[in-house]
């Protein structure tokens, strides 16, 4: 029986890397970030709602959402974040549900790649939760390097989410990403072996 697995983590924890590795092993990925972009893509009803709520400044010259403007707005004004979520979340859920059901019908195990799974209380919508774990200090360091931002800004983004250590206590399985990518790959493959998804670390097929 195919499973629905919620994959989550904290910002800059390495979840995208794990998602890519899981796709190599035959899992089908339903990505919340991709669905969020589709929800407000050029010409969509979602984008029309964004314009109506946040004004013409929320739309760039190319007709796409001005992500920089909207991002700054919702990050600094929690009430605006709620307004954006009310527009985007129902559309995202519909997109992801359709993708998930299509993959399950074809017999695949499905990874629901949801960065804010716990923040949005979605843990009960999946069979189990896998958390990509790293320490908060590593999150901050990686975020500073990746986004070229100050420590203060990096901390603000990390602390805007539920702490990675609290998520670790809530998850069904933890994938350790405090070291190198090679060790991350080994940690993930050990989990796949332990859970019966692959027979050994060199097996890139999936039994369904």
Other Cβ atoms within 10 Å of 204 Cβ, number: 11
Query: Does 71 count as an annotated binding residue?
Result: no
Q: Is 15 annotated as a binding residue?
A: yes
Token representation of residue 179: 């070291």
Sign of the C-alpha dihedral computed for residues 178, 179, 180 and 184 taken in this order? negative
Q: Is 16 annotated as a binding residue?
A: yes
Does residue 14 have a known ligand-binding role? yes
Q: Is 150 known as a binding-site position?
A: no
Rg from Cα positions in the chain: 18
Assess contact for 8 and 119: CB atoms under 8 A.
Answer: no
Please name which of 199, 168, 169 lies closest in space to residue 177, comparing C-alpha atoms. 168
12 in a known ligand binding site: yes
CB distance 88 to 46 below 8 Å: yes
- Binding site, annotated residues for ATP: 12-17
- Binding site, annotated residues: 12-17
């Amino acid at each position: 029986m195919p499973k629905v697995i919620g994959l989550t983590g904290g910002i800059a924890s390495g979840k995208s890397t794990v998602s890519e590795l899981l796709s190599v092993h035959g899992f089908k990925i339903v990505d919340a970030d991709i669905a969020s972009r589709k929800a407000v893509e050029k010409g969509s009803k979602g984008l029309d709602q964004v314009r109506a709520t946040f004004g013409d400044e929320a739309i760039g010259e190319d007709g796409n959402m001005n992500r920089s403007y909207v991002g700054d707005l919702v990050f600094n004004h929690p009430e605006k974040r709620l307004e954006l979520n009310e527009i985007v979340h129902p559309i995202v859920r519909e997109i992801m549900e359709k993708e998930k059901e299509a993959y399950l019908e074809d017999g695949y195990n499905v990874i629901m790649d949801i960065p804010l799974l716990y923040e949005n209380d979605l843990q009960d919508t999946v069979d189990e939760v896998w958390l990509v774990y790293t320490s908060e200090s590593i999150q901050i360091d990686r975020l500073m390097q990746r986004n070229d931002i100050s420590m203060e800004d990096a901390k603000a983004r990390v602390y805007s989410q539920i702490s990675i250590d609290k998520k670790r206590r809530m998850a069904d399985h933890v994938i350790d990403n405090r070291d190198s990518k090679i060790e991350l790959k080994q940690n993930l493959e050990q989990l796949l072996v332990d859970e019966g998804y692959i027979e050994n670390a060199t097996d890139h097929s999936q039994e369904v």
